[in-house]
Structure 1
């Protein structure tokens, strides 16, 4: 065995030992990115509570990927059922060290403009549901193990654009909430990250006319979640980093000309 592979193997063993008593709660765990994150977290020794409305899909995923049964617990969670969130949290057998909010819902801008019910579903899933459950989790000061919260946002929320501003507004609100939450939790040394991603090759984007050269794979994005550092904003892929800063810094007249 080469020195390189020996070092990688030793690092994996070390991580498994260090993380063996830590739990990750993934909310909206049925998304393609979240599923890849489950695999990566369990490979690093974490226990994972995978929470979603679609329990059968998660069970099939765990079986198909031979995930260690003792390392994954599957629980029902509906981001839109706000009144159930307190009971959901209270019933967790172990309170989490890391929380990942990956729940998301998307409809096209024209559909959202014509149907407030569809727009409201995006608002509830992408923002209001996140605020509801994360407020409950972070205000539980008896959980001394909580060390990190990661929210999955989108470049659509960086600036308002006419092609997707309803969806983008929900992601913008979520990003601003996380920014404030980071300040709120700083004194408790709890890290808050927001992952601001571009196009990902996932089921939520199926049927959309996207630039294929900019598509990222779910496992690539998941690695940025699992390996999150202390910086607030995480933008996977150098191409999207450039696009992110162009959107952030461009004057309004330029943004108004974008699709």
Structure 2
């Protein structure tokens, strides 16, 4: 029988496949879960199908409705011990270059929305519960590459923000982690031509979230760790030759 820890995890953007797997794992560890998303109907269905109604609170959260973020946070049923920002949006680079609306949406969901809500959460000095903030970033943000630099730039900005937030909160013993992720078999990647041998399953990635340690950068899967290191070390002349 799972022992209740008395702790709460808040998952922002909880409709993603990785987030849903994380919900299950956190419940197994004895957490209560606040699952927040713009599409609450889909979350309600997920919670009901998995018989999680007594352990999961579903709330509406719109990452790009910045003016609503303060009211959302103040209205939480419990102040969280762990916060995960899992909201994400992606359009391909060619479309992003031609249509600024797609670029703008990526900026707002992947970066601006994260900064808006996480600033509020991190700035609540009365919340003595807060232990950890985890942001889901991407390998696309490690180096600018011509195939995905628009999306990658939003993730690079998010990772940089999390790095500074980690320093800001260190004195309060609050951990901040950036999960730097490669390809996952999720809705956001449907239709993309990806290397099958590099694709990770959502439940695999979720384990790295719920078991996050003290390292700032967490890269699931040894293949992606190697790719991450190579991208970090490659000279610009070679990065320019990558797709």
Structure-1-length-normalised TM-score: 0.93
The residue that corresponds to 1:35 in the other structure is: 20
Deviation at 1:115, TM superposition (A): 0.7
Deviations 1:35-78 (A, max 9, x none): 000000011110000000111110111111122x2211000000
Displacement of 1:198 in angstroms is 0.3
Which residue is equivalent to 1:254?
Answer: 238
Query: Per-residue displacement from partner, 1:225-246 (whole Å, max 9, x unpaired)?
Result: 0000011010000000000000
Consecutive unaligned residues of structure 1, counting only runs of 5 or more, are 1-11
Give 2:215's aligned residue. 231
Measure, in 1, the Cα distance between the counterparts of 2:51 and 2:184.
25
Counterpart-to-counterpart distance in 2, 1:256 and 1:48? 43
**SS at 1:70's partner residue?**
coil
Alignment match of 2:149 (pick from 161, 165, 170)? 165
Q: Tell me the equivalent position of 2:191.
A: 207
From 23, 35, 42, the equivalent of 1:57 is 42
Mapping 1:6-85, distance limit 5 Å: 13=2, 16-17=3-4, 19=5, 21-67=6-52, 69-85=53-69
Aligned-residue CA RMSD in angstroms? 0.8
The 5 Å alignment of 1:35-184 reads 35-67=20-52, 69-184=53-168
SS in 1 for 2:214: coil
Larger helix proportion of the pair: 1
Give the Cα separation in 2 of the matches to 1:109 and 1:175. Answer: 20
Paired positions, count: 243
Gaps spanning 5+ residues in structure 2: where? none
Equivalent residue, structure 1, for 2:172: 188
The Cα offsets for residues 73-130 of structure 1, whole Å up to 9 and x where unpaired, read as 0000000000000000010011100000000000000100001111000000000000
* TM-score w.r.t. length of structure 2: 0.99
Match of 1:167, SS?
helix
How far 1:209 moved relative to its partner? Answer: 0.2
Distance 2:148 2:210 in 1: 28
